[in-house]
Structure 1
Amino acid sequence: MLLEAISCGSAMCNMLIGGLVLLVIILIWSIRRPPGMPPGPRGLPIIGSLLSITQNMHLDFLNMAKKYGDVFTIKLGSHQVVVLNNYELILEALVKKQFDFAGRPHTFTGDMFSEGGQDIALSDFGTTWKLHRKIAHQAIRDYVSGRKLERLIREDAFPLLQEILEENDGKSIHPRPLVLLLVNNIMAQFCFGQKYTLDDPEFKSIMKLVDDFVEIGGNGLVADIIPWLAYIPTKGVREIRKMTDVFLRMMYDKFYEHKKKFDKDKLHDLIDYLLNVQRQAQEDKTENIDSLNDTRLVQTVSDLFGAGIDTTTHTLDWAIMFLVHHPDVQAKVAREIDDVIGGEQFPLISDRPRMPYCDAVIHEVMRVRTVAPMSVPHKAMVDSTIGGYNIPKDTWVMINLWAVQMDKKHWDNPEEFKPERFLEKDGTLKPKQDNFMPFSAGRRVCLGESLAKPEIFLLFTSLFQRFQFSHVPGKALPQLDGTASALILRAPDYEVIVRKRL
């Protein structure tokens, strides 16, 4: 009996020891880096180097590059992530080997918003992705470019903002909600033919969604890098699900409202255009009809509406803040606008070549405060290399655009706000600089770039043609330190004095 008990206890002890040894092996394996990959911090089991990352990961990665080099590997949860921190490496990955790194990682948050990768921004590279990106590009060209964009701003979006600012002439204001209203109305008109006022309940709902996602979602949930945590109903998981449901319900409601009233001879906006593409595919019985389902079309609308609001709003936000800090620059901007356009006529896209200083200021704002400093993560589609290092298939690749825009090898005193760096000695705009890439590069370059550039120019010049912004007496100047959240570098809340110029 005693011998049996001893034997049983010994067996249990051996099982326990064996289990502990297996656990140790698994933990050690979890921080193992495949051979030939770039160097980097080893990290801890399970969580990797998660504790070393703050909300401003673009700055964290810039500091890590000083120790490990411009290309390094960091373990985030269960994922090996390769980070690129200079122009040459990014050029190699995104341009020279663009098909190797054209994939997108699947994450809990991303899959929730994209309904399983059925959008354009977060879906993997492939035939379906190419089709929907082509359709979206054509919609932008047809409905929100050239004179149509100018008319949309002049007649539908800017007058409401102008009225609000004129009512507050000489007073202190918080510009962000007003800028958000302005940009929101451009994108809402383009996407589903709707215009909002500042007190519109739906516009307030959109503002709340943005604020809530920034507060709760930040740069994603831990479940995005440790997938099994998604099955634990934490507050963050519950709130993100709720926000996603609210946003997508709004998009689906607008889509099906359009579908009920659809007339192929009267196409007014993006949804009408997408419904017509779907109709043509059904009538022609094309091979790609399955990929033109309602879900994918709604996701295309969601992509363009959400991303188009966020990036442009925060670019204009930073522009106002930097020109409040630099009134001499603001004065030069106003002088060029007066000389080229005057005070009555709204700016036109055709004015842009004659306004190099305004263009240089916009470039410098986008450089010094790149609104998407880490872009959207890429994924290796095949086994490949970057900088001579092995990059196994399915490895995440993160692009630190902030590091490129702040690289002392390419920019003199990069922290300094200096629009003249984009001008020739004779005052003309320099040719496009390859290492200036606020919209990323390559196959997955920002879908809305062709819209954002003329839109930002028209809004920037319209604002500073009619108004002057200055700091509030007795208060500190707006802080220029941003916080990255939901991939966007957001300025802190700020207050300025607005005055009519003309």
Structure 2
Amino acid sequence: MDFLTFLLVVLSFLVWYSLRSNLRGRRSGKLPPGPYPFPIIGNILQLGKNPHQSLTKLSKIYGPLMYLKLGSRNTIVVSSPDIAKQVLQKHDQVFSSRTIPAAATAYDHYKKSVGWLPVASQWRNLRKICREQMFSSHRMDASQGLRQEKLKKLCAYVHDCCINDQVVDIGDAAFITSLNLMSATLFSIDFAQFSSKSAQETKEVVRVLMSIGAVPNLADFFPVLKFIDPQGIVRKTKSYVGKVFVIFDDLINQRLKSRGGSLDHPVKNDLLEAILDHSQTNESELTFDVLKHLLLDLFVAGTDTTSSTVEWAMTELLRNPEKMSKAKNELMTVVGGNRQVEESDISRLPYLQSVIKETFRYHPPAPFLVPRKAEVDTEINGYTIPKDAQILVNVWATGRDSNIWLNPDSFEPERFLDLEIDFKGKDFELIPFGSGRRICPGLPLAYRMVHLMVASLIHNFNWKLEQGMKPEEVDINEEFGLSLQKAVPLKAFPIKLSLMYLLIHSIRKNDTHRGQSRNFSLWR
């Protein structure tokens, strides 16, 4: 069979499959409104280069509950807090499953991953391990010394750039720090060094794995093509996941050898040690194969989303010098200039917390969260969500909705100072980590990492843009992926804070403690 004949056969089959799927969709009841789909491809072309933006525009025409046909796949797009609450809370059990992308079939990842497994016994065991053995307050407190050490290395690197008058690629610096914060928390080691080849290689592996999930895949739009893998996405995923698993195998085997060598082996305060301790008494809950897939979830998702959030936060602070000044003044008042920011300081820094919340609103790390799937036909707001439909919760659209936020296209951390809104899954106006039973298990670690990195960068340094660039000229174009990246990397020159600056803030802090008020307007 020549290629043309093969292509005609495939197209004919897709036409039949599309018509069959459309008929099934029509029998599902009254579907939500949406744009008219083209034959075979449906609404694929309307996704554009940045689907989160394209679907936000369409939702303004068709409403916050919208139906699309992406190839043969029924897709529901949710773009309001009220409907998100129904999907993620009221009907959480019905919508708790995942639509499995073809890429997740590499190494059978979807059968072992806490991110992709259905809500059943294996998933519950993994969530319990995450909650009790990995991300409990006790575990996080025990490993905070590891994270403090990585922050010192970040500040040392930026300080060297100050001395040498070198520009800092803030996204790269945040990525390497996130990578090492994650690897230190998981394994008590650094995976990369600043300005090293290994850092770029590791970054490529993580970024490729994240980008693969965002590439429009014919096998996802037409599941019947999965066995062909027409774009080679599954093969590419296997290659890069294999590289990560080789690293994990070495680390796990080294730790097992260390633990088995003597009764008084050095105990690590990391998550691998906690998991291995747990596995000794609960062997049926966590095999080493499943452990590797769990670590892959945490490692890849935690590193990329954390670093991108830090880069976006620094981007907006550099674009808004008055916001930067407020955050810096708060840090100097609360922390002072003689010590490093610690995790216990976060709760005493309301403006810094507001900066992070505003960053999550304006630049959510995962614009569609992780897609869910309807287990049965379900009615919402008088419309039927058909069984097996893919559910996209467009948190990017919610964050830009003028019906919810005043001046939604402006970066205004102050809005959160008077609002009792958090991002931990209860307030559906701001759910960058999701909500319900499938909320991101790594949220407690991400909370600490993002606040600490942003605080360290602005507490210890001033920043100057390249080549006389004005703040309003800093690029904020987005590059769509499973995490939302800056299209143009953020680069700036760090400037070490002067002794006079530190002295003035020390005086102001002392005066505040005495209940006095002096006017240092020159330094504001």
Q: TM-score, normalised by structure 1?
A: 0.87
Inter-partner Cα distance in structure 2 for 1:393 and 1:235: 29
Structure 1 position 60, deviation (Å):
1.4
Q: Which residue of 2 aligns with 1:255?
A: 252
Q: Which residue of 2 aligns with 1:239?
A: 236
Question: Which amino acid is the alignment partner of residue 140 of structure 2?
Answer: S
Q: Which residue of 1 aligns with 2:394?
A: 400
Structure 1 position 64, deviation (Å):
1.4
Q: Which residue of 1 aligns with 2:205?
A: 209
Question: Which amino acid is the alignment partner of residue 485 of structure 1?
Answer: G
User: Bigger shift: 128-137 or 47-56?
Assistant: 47-56
State the percentage of identical aligned residues. 27
2:493 paired residue among 476, 490, 497:
497
Inter-partner Cα distance in structure 2 for 1:353 and 1:238: 45
Contact 2:82 2:428 in 1 (8 A): no
Inter-partner Cα distance in structure 2 for 1:222 and 1:359: 41
Q: Which residue of 2 aligns with 1:270?
A: 271
Q: Which residue of 2 aligns with 1:352?
A: 346
Structure 1 position 200, deviation (Å):
5.1
Contact 1:352 1:457 in 2 (8 A): yes
Inter-partner Cα distance in structure 1 for 2:377 and 2:69: 18
Please show how residues 89-128 of structure 1 align to structure 2 within 5 Å: 89-112=83-106, 115-128=109-122
Contact 2:219 2:229 in 1 (8 A): no
Q: CA RMSD in A?
A: 2.5
1:295 paired residue among 271, 279, 289:
289
Contact 2:148 2:342 in 1 (8 A): no
2:176 paired residue among 177, 181, 188:
181
Question: Which amino acid is the alignment partner of residue 29 of structure 1?
Answer: R
Q: Given the alignment of the two structures, is residue 163 of structure 1 paired with residue 156 of structure 2, yes or no? A: yes
With over 3 angstroms needed to count, the CA separation of the structure-2 counterparts of 1:257 and 1:387, relative to structure 1, is farther
1:288-307 CA-to-partner distances (Å, cap 9, x unmatched) read x1x52222111111111111
Inter-partner Cα distance in structure 1 for 2:107 and 2:49: 21
Contact 1:93 1:101 in 2 (8 A): yes
Inter-partner Cα distance in structure 1 for 2:181 and 2:69: 40
Structure 1 position 161, deviation (Å):
1.4
User: Number of residue pairs matched?
Assistant: 470
With over 3 angstroms needed to count, the CA separation of the structure-2 counterparts of 1:404 and 1:53, relative to structure 1, is same
Question: Which amino acid is the alignment partner of residue 247 of structure 2?
Answer: M
Q: Which residue of 1 aligns with 2:6?
A: none
Q: Which residue of 2 aligns with 1:413?
A: 407
Q: Which residue of 2 aligns with 1:311?
A: 305
Inter-partner Cα distance in structure 1 for 2:303 and 2:402: 31
Inter-partner Cα distance in structure 2 for 1:406 and 1:37: 26
Moved over 4 A (4+): 20-27, 199-202, 213-217
With over 3 angstroms needed to count, the CA separation of the structure-2 counterparts of 1:211 and 1:115, relative to structure 1, is closer
Please show how residues 365-444 of structure 1 align to structure 2 within 5 Å: 365-424=359-418, 430-432=420-422, 433-444=427-438
Structure 1 position 318, deviation (Å):
0.5
2:42 paired residue among 44, 48, 56:
48
Q: Which residue of 2 aligns with 1:146?
A: 141
Inter-partner Cα distance in structure 1 for 2:125 and 2:229: 37
Inter-partner Cα distance in structure 2 for 1:414 and 1:435: 12
Question: Which amino acid is the alignment partner of residue 146 of structure 1?
Answer: D
1:486 paired residue among 482, 486, 497:
482
Contact 1:94 1:441 in 2 (8 A): yes
2:218 paired residue among 218, 222, 227:
222
1:204-263 CA-to-partner distances (Å, cap 9, x unmatched) read 321121344466654452222223434145454543332222223323332333333335
Structure 1 position 28, deviation (Å):
3.1
Contact 1:370 1:401 in 2 (8 A): yes
User: Bigger shift: 171-180 or 409-418?
Assistant: 171-180
1:99-128 CA-to-partner distances (Å, cap 9, x unmatched) read 111101122112226623311112111121
Structure 1 position 21, deviation (Å):
11
User: Bigger shift: 343-352 or 461-470?
Assistant: 343-352
User: Bigger shift: 72-81 or 44-53?
Assistant: 44-53
Contact 1:109 1:220 in 2 (8 A): no
Name the SS of the counterpart of 1:464 in structure 2: helix
Name the SS of the counterpart of 1:447 in structure 2: coil
Please show how residues 271-286 of structure 1 align to structure 2 within 5 Å: 271-282=272-283
Q: Which residue of 2 aligns with 1:6?
A: none
Structure 1 position 354, deviation (Å):
2.6
